[in-house]
Amino acid sequence: MNLIERAKSILLQPKETWVAIESESTDAATLFTRYYMILAAIPVVCGFIGLSLIGFGGFGVTVRVPLVSGLVNMVVSYVLSLVGVFVLALIIDALAPAFGGQKNQIQALKVAVYASTAAMLGGVFSLLPALAMLGLLAALYSIYLLYTGLPVLMKSAPEKSVAYTVVVIIAAIVMGVVIGAVSSVFMPGGGSLFGGAAAPGVTLNTPKGQVSIDTAGLEAAGKKMEEAARQLEQAQKGQDPAAIAAATGKAAAAAAGALGGGQAIAAQSLKAALPESLGGLPRTGFDVQDGAALGLPTSQASAQYGSDSKQVRLEITDIGGLGQMAVMAMGMAQGEKEDQISAEKTWQEGGRTLHQRYEKDGSHAELKAILKNGLVVSVEGDHMGVKDLRGILGQVDLNGLEGLQRKGKS
């Protein structure tokens, strides 16, 4: 199964594609590792970039979710989305007889996975928070995919398809509310707005080049999650809350491990790229951190430069194995907007993604670069223009940073 071709066919020719899917022989591990686990990363990675790296706001004020908080939210959302599609498949399967259909767990999982395609791809709009509402339109198309898929795969009575779809949607909404509540429990509070190579098995061809994904870890995680799904089914039959919680926890742990990817570049290596001075301003302090959010390796090095009223902050961040996903996601984003107070622009240059934002009164400006290896380099300055920041960014050894290599999974 080719991921890109399958996604295109289910979106453009859903009725014909559901017929083909119905007769396919597959298993849960294949559905997850070759399709859903990859697509499910799009909305959470794009959401992290949009909320924590680009930011949102208006009237000259930009707000960002702190980096660590954003990372935790990304991981938790990803894990819960994987667990959620398992639960949704169980709901679809359990409801089938009530609407004249036939119970079949693997067919129910196919419906849950493939019907979510539009919603997952629509997550790319989360890169720019102002466009995030467009993702809801994509989610509405997923409802249509669900409607067309249920009678084909679950053999439900055609005249009951609408009712079947509505009940599944209601169940999904309730599940989404629960997932949101669980996610909020994991979110840390407070904090500054600045926040604190194994061989690939799948290669995605994008307009910006190839993106390789290590499926060895995904395959292993998929098998663990499949086993957890079997345990979840048995626990559900026995109505054992403790067993259900244990099986769900195993699936979450497997998903978190798959998301981690390779180790982050050592923070000390990032620190070496912090100059003693920038734009004629001396370095007044620095902060270097190696850390991990729910098993996701991260590293960060930042420094402050200043003299009188001019202040500059340089930050270099590595989000570990998600670096390539960030490159792929940001490769899809280009655009600009402007009002009377501020202006911002996102564009591609030399294989890198650049994003700039500045206040027209010269009070603040910021410039970010996502490098080819997924490192994020950010420069922010007070009482200076974006042209000044471009010159400052030019003093950072971006080529040297792009040459840094991550280690494989430990």
Tell me if 408 is assigned to some domain: no
Tell me if 291 is assigned to some domain: yes
Q: Say how many domains are in the chain.
A: 2
Nearest alpha-carbon partner for 33 in 173, 202, 177, 190: 202
Tell me if 166 is assigned to some domain: yes
The amino acid sitting at 102 is Q
Cα separation values, 309 from 65, 113, 222, 294, 384, Å? 26, 54, 54, 39, 10
Do 230 and 363 fall within a single domain?
no
Do 202 and 336 fall within a single domain?
no
Do 103 and 252 fall within a single domain?
yes
Tell me if 142 is assigned to some domain: yes
CA distance 274 to 316: 9
Question: What is the number of other CB atoms lying within 10 angstroms of the CB of residue 242?
Answer: 8
Residue where one domain finishes, among candidates 217, 236, 260: 260
Pair 376, 326: CB distance under 8 Å? yes
Query: In which residue are the tokens 């998929």 written?
Result: 222
Do 256 and 273 fall within a single domain?
no
Do 300 and 341 fall within a single domain?
yes
Do 232 and 289 fall within a single domain?
no
Do 392 and 289 fall within a single domain?
yes
Q: Which H or E element spans position 101? A: none
Do 252 and 274 fall within a single domain?
no
Do 195 and 321 fall within a single domain?
no
CA distance 55 to 47: 10
Tell me if 409 is assigned to some domain: no
Locate 64 and state its tokens: 């960002």
Pair 188, 72: CB distance under 8 Å? yes
Question: What is the number of other CB atoms lying within 10 angstroms of the CB of residue 139?
Answer: 16
Residue where one domain finishes, among candidates 243, 260, 277: 260
Tell me if 114 is assigned to some domain: yes
Do 271 and 242 fall within a single domain?
no
Do 230 and 292 fall within a single domain?
no
CA distance 143 to 165: 8
CA distance 137 to 143: 10
**DSSP reduced 3-state for 234:** helix
Residue where one domain finishes, among candidates 226, 260, 294: 260
Do 271 and 256 fall within a single domain?
no
Tell me if 336 is assigned to some domain: yes
CA distance 194 to 69: 10
Residue 314 — φ and ψ, nearest 5°?
-110, 130
Tell me if 180 is assigned to some domain: yes
CA distance 352 to 240: 51
**Tens-level pLDDT at each residue, the chain (410 residues):** 678 889 999 999 999 999 999 999 998 888 988 899 888 888 888 877 777 777 665 445 556 666 666 666 777 778 778 888 888 888 888 888 888 899 999 999 999 999 999 988 888 887 776 666 677 778 888 889 999 999 999 999 888 888 888 888 877 776 665 555 555 544 443 333 223 333 334 343 434 444 344 444 444 544 554 565 556 556 656 666 666 556 555 554 444 444 444 567 888 999 999 999 988 899 999 999 876 544 456 788 999 999 877 889 999 988 765 555 555 555 555 677 888 888 888 888 888 888 888 988 888 999 988 888 888 899 999 888 888 899 999 999 999 999 988 765 44
Pair 278, 312: CB distance under 8 Å? yes
Pair 378, 314: CB distance under 8 Å? yes
Domain range for 56 is 3-260
